[in-house]
Amino acid sequence: MQINIYKDKLLGAHLFGASVLYSTKPIPREDVPQSWYCYDLRGTARHPDEPHALVDKAEENHFGSILSYLPLKNRRSQFRLVKNMFQMTGTSPTLAEFCAEEKIRCPETPIRHLLRPASPEDAGLLYEFFKSQGTVVINEAADFAGTNGCYLYQGRDVQERKNKHLKDQILVVAPSEGLVSADVWLRCRKKLMANTTFQNGRKAKNTWLAGKVKCGRCGYALMSVGNPSGVQYLRCSKRADNKSCPGCGTLRTREFERFIYGEMVKKLAQFQTLTGKREKVNPKLTALNVELARVEDEIEKLLNTLTEASAVLISYANTKIEELDAQRQTLSKEIAALSAETMSPEQIERLSVYLNRWEEIDFDDRRQVADGLISQIRATGECVAIEWKI
Q: Return phi, psi of residue 154, to 5°.
A: -70, 130
pTM confidence score: 0.39
- End-to-end CA, the chain: 42
Q: Return phi, psi of residue 268, to 5°.
A: -70, -30
Rounded distance between C-alpha atoms, residue 318 and residue 312, angstroms? 10
Under the banding of pLDDT at 50, 70 and 90, the label for residue 116 is very low
Under the banding of pLDDT at 50, 70 and 90, the label for residue 378 is very high
Among candidates 390, 384, 374, which has minimal Cα distance to 211? 374
Percent of the chain whose pLDDT exceeds 70: 80
- The one-letter amino acid code at 12 reads G
What Å distances lie between residue 108 and 6, 7, 10, 31, 155, CA to CA? 8, 11, 17, 11, 17
Per the model's pLDDT, the better-predicted residue between 272 and 279 turns out to be 272
- Cβ 107 vs Cβ 95: under 8 Å: yes
Rounded distance between C-alpha atoms, residue 52 and residue 50, angstroms? 6
Comparing 118-127, 152-161, 238-247, the range with the smallest average pLDDT is 118-127
CB atoms within 10 A of CB 360: 8
Q: Report pLDDT digits (tens) over 81-113.
A: 998 899 999 999 999 999 999 999 888 776 554
SS3 assignment, position 353: helix
User: According to the model, what pLDDT value does residue 149 have?
Assistant: 78
Query: Got the DSSP string for 85-133?
Result: -EEE-S----HHHHHHHHT-PPPPPPP--EEB-SSHHHHHHHHHHHHHT
Which one of 13-22, 119-128, 199-208 scores highest in mean pLDDT? Answer: 13-22
Rounded distance between C-alpha atoms, residue 61 and residue 49, angstroms? 8
Rounded distance between C-alpha atoms, residue 340 and residue 342, angstroms? 5
- Cβ 320 vs Cβ 302: under 8 Å: yes
Average pLDDT in the 135-150 region? Answer: 79
Q: Return phi, psi of residue 39, to 5°.
A: -135, 170
User: According to the model, what pLDDT value does residue 312 have?
Assistant: 62
What Å distances lie between residue 49 and 9, 46, 274, CA to CA? 21, 9, 58
- Cβ 298 vs Cβ 354: under 8 Å: no
Rounded distance between C-alpha atoms, residue 134 and residue 149, angstroms? 20
Per the model's pLDDT, the better-predicted residue between 153 and 309 turns out to be 153
Rounded distance between C-alpha atoms, residue 133 and residue 383, angstroms? 36
- Cβ 267 vs Cβ 373: under 8 Å: yes
Average pLDDT in the 238-249 region? Answer: 85
Percent of the chain whose pLDDT exceeds 90: 26
pLDDT of 19 higher than 60: yes
Average pLDDT in the 216-224 region? Answer: 88
Strand partners, 18: 15
Comparing 23-27, 155-159, 244-248, the range with the smallest average pLDDT is 155-159
